[in-house]
Amino acid sequence: MQFASFFLLSLQSMKIIYMLCLLTTVLNLQAQKKVAIDSFSPKEIQKKIDNYALIDLTFDVNNLPRHEANILPELLIAAEIADSLFWRQTFAGSKFQFIQDLKNDTLAKYFEINYGPWERLNNNKPFIKGVGPKPKGANFYPADITKQEFEQWNDSTKNSPYTIILRDEKGKLKSVPYSEYYDYYLFGIEQHMELAATRVIKFDSAFGKYLYYRGVGLHNNQYDNSDILWLQSKNNILDIIIGPIETYEDQFNGVKAAYEAYIVAKDTAWSNRLHKYVALLPSLQQKLPVGKDYITPLPGLNSQIGAYDVIYYSGDCNSGSKTIAVNLPNDEGVQTQYGTRRLQFKNVMKAKFDSILIPVSNVLIDSAQRKYITFDAFFANTMFHEVAHGLGIKNTILKNESVSLQLGEYYSALEEGKADVLGLFMITELLNSGDITTGSIEEFYTTFVASIFRSIRFGASSAHGKANMVRLNFFMEKGALMRNANGTYTINYDKMKIAVYELSGIILKIQGDGDKLAAQNLLDSKGFISPVMKADLDNLITLSIPIDIIFNQGLKYINTSRQGGNSERPR
């Protein structure tokens, strides 16, 4: 059978299995009340859709060895199931019923872009009138839960990332494991991950074991083993990251993990250029701009860095602003013993750089400093942001308790802010030591500021949005960034360095102290968009500069015509 025909047949047959599994789940859902649809006009919504640049995520299977290309259908379906899981976590109603009630393709498209009736890149404002504000706890908690009720509830699993909080028949809170609540979906993912594993394991045992045990782990709420196996599988080009991973969607307590999936292909040439920076982490940890009591031993010296092209996004990572890099796994125990892997999504980064960052820079950056904006600096800034997540403090100094648990709902925004400024701190130190030999401080700082302007257009409702605004307002207060009369901004490079080191120290101290009140004060006092800045950002919309990107992706954009070959890696 020709490879393309086999690929299509396999995908279609697996899709039938998935749809049957999904149908069973839907039939078991509680009946949802129909929503009376009263929305903005389709013309207004189309203008909002036009604020996104549409990017094709194309891929050629000839870039993979045959045994890896053969499992793409299974991975695509597993990713689609993860997407359906995220819908259940973020939206309390029935997606299909809601779309049917909309009775308008334009509204339906925007509803799907935002994974619900709230604009993720506009501070989660509803665009369907009458739906009310987006619940802080998404669909992880009962809609009527209060902070006081949750904090007074005595349950050992309530803060687990992998439990959903419900009410029992008496109205009391109860904690249900993801593995139980999402059983039908997770069974489907497990089946497709197992099929992929059986097809690849005789060619690459490490990758095959990861695929198999990731599916098993998803179905039984145990992730450590597959996280470790993922870090140990290093010879594969094709890869999948799948599961409940990030906690940004939980703005009630900041602990519940949302489902997502990335299917990626490694760029070995780019990746080989990045490995040397891992060895420099211990010395950078010792140079952190904070008191010695806050400098703890650096975990995870087995960390890896790689450049990848993304084939498919689904779930949490496909909602709101599109992720351009990750640093995983998040489990601090695994990080300490086995390290992490930092993945830079090169093709998506280039799409954002070309379609958004350059046009934004041409409007907001001082004309004399625009020459310093480069893709290499954008790539490096993003990479060091991810690397910087590994620096700093994991447990509080006095109580030796998890920083994330101590800071609660403020942790994610503060951690993103830490990674932002420590990334620049690292670059500055490595330029001074000669370990970075290409690019200048002007290129890194100017590109960094331009990227802030790109990112703050996402609003201040998300963890990244809050972090962006804290940085921008801090830099403005310190004179590192100045607004000119013509609406452009000029960077003072000397003051920028001072501000980066100072803000790094402030955030590291808050984390080390586990000071939730200080975290709240920092985010509340600086995590906002000023009227002047809002006017500057609104001008970008009038100039038709995209706010972010959305994808054409999936089988249609994958070239499945195999040019001969075997299971050897393409050269």
Q: What is the 3-class SS of 122-180, one letter each residue? A: CCCEECEECCCCCCCCCCCCCCCCCHHHHHHCCCCCCCCCCEEEEECCCCCEEEEEHHH
Which pLDDT value is given to residue 301? 57
Identify the bridge partners of residue 125 per DSSP, sorted by sequence position.
119
Distance, first Cα to last Cα, the chain:
25
Residue 503 near residue 497 (C-beta atoms within 8 A): no
Using only C-alpha atoms, the chain has a radius of gyration, in whole angstroms, of 23
Closest-CA residue to 385 (of 440, 339, 442, 327) = 327
Please tell me the predicted confidence (pLDDT) of residue 563. 65
* DSSP calls for 33-83: PPPPPEE--HHHHHHHHTTEEEEE--EEGGGS-HHHHTTHHHHHHHHHHHH
> How far is the C-alpha of 117 from the C-alpha of 39, rounded, in Å?
10
Three-class SS state of 239: strand
Could you tell me which residues come within 8 angstroms of residue 164 by beta carbon, excluding any fewer than 6 positions away?
139, 140, 141, 175, 176, 178, 181, 256
| Burial bucket for residue 495 (CB in 10 Å: 0-12, 13-18, 19+) | middle
pLDDT given for residue 335 in this prediction: 86
DSSP 8-class letter at 370: G
- Spatial neighbors of 561 by CB under 8 A, at least 6 apart, are 3, 4, 61, 62
How much is the pLDDT for 570? Answer: 33
pLDDT at 529: 86
Residue for token digits 């998506």? 348
Side chain identity at residue 209, one-letter code: K
Does residue 480 contact residue 446 with C-beta atoms inside 8 Å? no
What is the three-state SS of 540-553? HHHCCCCCEEEEEC
Q: Each residue's pLDDT tens digit in the chain (571 positions)? A: 455 555 555 555 555 544 544 444 444 343 334 444 456 788 899 999 999 999 999 999 999 999 999 999 999 999 999 999 999 999 998 899 999 998 899 999 999 999 999 999 888 999 988 899 999 999 999 999 999 999 999 999 999 999 999 999 999 999 999 999 999 999 999 999 999 999 999 999 999 999 999 999 999 999 999 999 999 999 999 999 999 999 999 999 999 999 999 999 999 988 888 878 877 888 888 899 998 888 876 654 577 899 999 999 999 999 989 999 998 999 988 988 888 898 999 999 999 999 999 999 999 999 999 999 999 999 999 888 878 887 888 888 888 888 888 998 899 889 989 999 999 999 999 999 999 989 999 999 999 999 999 888 876 666 677 888 999 999 999 999 999 999 999 999 999 999 999 999 999 999 999 999 999 999 999 988 889 998 998 899 899 999 999 999 999 999 987 665 444 333 2
How many Cβ atoms from other residues are within 10 Å of residue 220's Cβ?
Answer: 14
Give the pLDDT of residue 505: 95
Token pair of 316, please? 């949490």
Which residue in this structure is represented by tokens 């703890």?
Answer: 296
Crossing angle, helix 95-102 and helix 105-113, to 10 degrees?
A: 150
Q: Contact 74/192 with Cβ under 8 angstroms?
A: yes
